[in-house]
Structure 1
Amino acid sequence: MSTLIKSAKSIAPLLDRVLVQRVKAEAKTASGLYLPEKNVQKLNQATVLAVGPGFTDANGVKVVPQVAVGDSVLIPQFGGSSIKLKDDEEVVLFRDSEILAKLNE
């Protein structure tokens, strides 16, 4: 079951889900050499594209996500739900609690 989504803007995360796109690793070295695609590693840094509204816990307390659209975050190397977009891009859906850190730039 592989569904291609038109764009990341058509995805609205629910509850405490956060939609991110990994930052692309450089395919060229500082000296100008191009690296083969299989040697370019996935980075753990991502940009937040969309954030769910949060949820209400068992005690009735509203829990809102700790990140906002546009934030740079660190994500786990594995996990999340990958979503393929039509233009061969890939975005990943994580729970807010799975995000490791927010980067202050």
Structure 2
Amino acid sequence: MNLRPVSDHIILKPMDKETVTASGIIIPDTVEKEKPEQAEVLAVGPGKMLENGQRQIMEVQVGQKVMFKKWAPDEVEIDKQKYLIIKSEDVIAIVE
């Protein structure tokens, strides 16, 4: 099964969270709760239809890594792989 986002939706592949820092400090789950999430962009919709009949320009591209608020995504699982679906307005940064 393939997923193709519509409107201004973005399909993401979650990135593994670091549980230990480079210096060996263990990061407890409670610290991670308030931090934004990161994921890789797998697919981007064509953009939301605006009132003037044109499409909103999507700011992210396939392959980029993005940050978004923890509460934003809908989770889906296909063939034992977890995917996240968010709207473009929920992206807070592109990781470079």
User: TM-score normalised to the size of structure 1?
Assistant: 0.70
Cα pair distance change 1:58/1:86, threshold 3 Å: same
Q: Which of 62, 65, 77 is 2:70 aligned to? A: 77
How far apart are the structure 2 equivalents of 1:18 and 1:100? 13
Q: Which of 48, 52, 56 is 1:59 aligned to? A: 52
- Describe the SS at the equivalent of 1:91: strand
Gaps of at least 5 residues in structure 2 are none
Q: Describe how 1:85-96 pairs up with structure 2 within 5 A.
A: 85-87=78-80, 89-96=81-88
CA deviation after TM superposition for structure 1 residue 26, in Å: 3.7
- Describe the SS at the equivalent of 1:60: coil
The runs of at least 4 aligned residues of structure 1 exceeding 4 Å deviation read 27-32
Gaps of at least 5 residues in structure 1 are 1-5
Q: How many aligned residue pairs are there?
A: 92
The aligned residue for residue 9 of structure 2 is 17
- Structure 1 vs Structure 2: percent identity of aligned residues? 27
User: TM-score normalised to the size of structure 2?
Assistant: 0.76
